[in-house]
Amino acid sequence: MSGYEAVTPMPPEPAAPAPPALFTRIDHVGVAVRDLDESISWYETTYGLRVLTRETHDDQGVDEAMLAVADTPAGGSYVQLLKPTREDSPVGKFLARNGPGVHHIGYGVVDVEAALRSIENTGVRLVDARPRHGSMGASIAFLHPKDTGGVLTELVQAPRGAAAGG
């Protein structure tokens, strides 16, 4: 006897299957700004970016501009400049608390409804239980920043046949 007890080795735990990747690309970075025209000019003159669309979304309380950064086979990527139309909106409250800066990240997904259900099943709180309309015809939904490491996260499904931002 060696002094060691014979130990039957445990069979290795079966590895949990890796979940399929939900994100296809970074669709856009949403930036809170105080003056939309001034910010657009700064992005144009400093970075040479081009404005694709300007929209007002009363439900979100924003005036916004989408600037094109890149076009990829999986879809486009953009900077979304956001100016609040009222103080008690998400971007209005963010600006009052933090000043101008990155407000959220929008990730491209193939199917926003399926992605929402999959993420919800992991226990992350959803801001939007169902997808809604976003910029440039996209279908979007937000996840709560308190459950995503402090990053307000938007899922973006491009409209059929188009590369779109949210």
Per CB under 6 A, does 107 bind ligand CMX? Answer: no
Question: To the nearest whole angstrom, how small is the minimum distance from the Cβ of residue 4 to ligand CMX?
Answer: 53
Between residues 108 and 166, which has the closer beta carbon with respect to ligand CMX?
A: 166
Q: Are 56 and 82 in contact (CB under 8 A)?
A: no
Grouping H, G, I as helix, E, B as strand and the rest as coil, residue 123 is: coil
Cα–Cα distance for residue pair 158/137, rounded to 1 Å: 7
Least separation in angstroms between CB 129 and ligand CMX: 12
Is 94 exposed, middle or buried (CB count within 10 Å of its CB: 0-12, 13-18, 19+)?
Answer: buried
Asked if residue 61 binds Co ion (CB under 5 A), the reply is no
- Distance CA(74)–CA(25), nearest Å, equals 7
Which residues are marked as active site?
28, 64, 80, 104, 154
Contact mark string toward Co ion, 68..87, x via CB under 5 A: ------------x-------
Positions in the binding site for Co ion (CB under 5 A): 30, 80, 106, 154, 166
